[in-house]
Structure 1
């Protein structure tokens, strides 16, 4: 395996590792994102067993000791499995996550105390980069879920939203909704919370210019339209699930 590096927005780098053994023949990518600034931030740590690949990739962009902030979408191995490995090689790095994630998991599992972020709280990275943490509980899964929005570039770091198969280009303006629907059909990874559609539509109000996907190509097309279409699909799934339950009760 190798980790490829691509700049998907000004000062935002995608570190992508393709694993053909997952969901063959298409395979699956695991993406981390490094946001530069006076205090660089990494979104997703990657899997613990992929740490050497990701460490070497980051070191080709910045010295590891410059890494200041580490955050992710929700507590899961591919999102934060290597958090302590990163803390070990980055002495000034601090983990940052939402209230639920910190108090349920991270406070106990992390080797250094994390910074607890409020919904909407901003970390100023310097150099013109500002990242806003946004709570998205149960969207797409995990009660501690959240996303990060980099304000200067309009980049929404989506976590597992729009998960799709394959090893596409680092950045695309093609369809990401159809592949995301197919990914949901295959993995059934979302919790189908009744608030999912509304939560995703709230993200669309940010009017992002780039969507940074954890699994799949990042997107530079009509981001608002893509988010609304994904919200519509989750509303449909939730309605279908509710109908199936009602029919089961009436059977």
Structure 2
């Protein structure tokens, strides 16, 4: 399936697809006042980042199946252990017999080696995983914004940062990819429901992410974003320091 615009894959839930970077697709499901995103890298060994909630599994499964046969799925990755990040992990493992979980070493040790029905591939900080033309690098970001095991993936060919809960935006009907401000809306959301741990190492970790010079930020909630990702991450570091 070729996706050149927003494509609704389930009319009842509103689940939809959009290509945010070359070979990287945002799968979005709106709910009242909010939205959940997963991202699929379509390549020789396809990788899904975020599984979605268990109750959303049928709709997300349907969307992924529009892009690839489910049995081709090879990696199921996520930032940290939380229902919307990996709640349907075992459902995906059952549907995709060759797929394995991908997470950081802390997540593997404290949760996934026990919770998952298949052993995880645990990535060390800075480790690279090739999935074909695309390669992803893991960054440990403990407690940024929350969870000891938190981390992110940078896709190095397209400079897409799968940045999880960073830049979370409220709202259900948002464009799939924008170049306008997301820091302001995300800070408004954070002030209403502060989900940050406010780790003392936040600035250092954000500056490290900024040094990768991302061009696309694949946010988990709200619109994905394109532009000078380094500048935006540094601006977030300033906001969190105030």
Give the one of 205, 220, 223 matched to 1:217: 223
Quick check: which has more Rg, 1 or 2?
1
1:161 pairs with 2:162: no
Aligned to 2:16: 4
Aligned to 2:138: 133
Contact residue 2 and residue 53 of structure 1 kept, 8 A: no
Alignment of 1:28-39 (within 5 A): 28-39=34-45
1:149 pairs with 2:159: no
Deviation for aligned residue 1:8: 0.3
Alignment of 1:1-251 (within 5 A): 1-20=13-32, 27-126=33-132, 128-166=133-171, 167-236=173-242
After superposition, the CA RMSD in angstroms is 0.7
Where structure 2 has 5 or more consecutive residues not aligned to the other structure, the ranges are: 1-12
Q: d(CA) in 1 for partners of 2:34 and 2:206?
A: 23
Question: Which secondary structure state, in structure 2, belongs to the residue aligned with residue 31 of structure 1?
Answer: strand
Q: d(CA) in 2 for partners of 1:73 and 1:179?
A: 22
Contact residue 213 and residue 228 of structure 2 kept, 8 A: no
Question: Which secondary structure state, in structure 2, belongs to the residue aligned with residue 92 of structure 1?
Answer: coil
Q: d(CA) in 2 for partners of 1:157 and 1:50?
A: 20
Q: d(CA) in 2 for partners of 1:192 and 1:202?
A: 17
Give the aligned length: 229
Q: d(CA) in 1 for partners of 2:119 and 2:18?
A: 31
Q: d(CA) in 2 for partners of 1:2 and 1:89?
A: 22
Aligned to 2:7: none
Normalised to the residue count of structure 2, the TM-score between the two structures is 0.93
Deviation for aligned residue 1:234: 1.0
Where structure 1 has 5 or more consecutive residues not aligned to the other structure, the ranges are: 21-26, 237-251
Q: d(CA) in 2 for partners of 1:144 and 1:74?
A: 6
Q: d(CA) in 2 for partners of 1:215 and 1:142?
A: 17
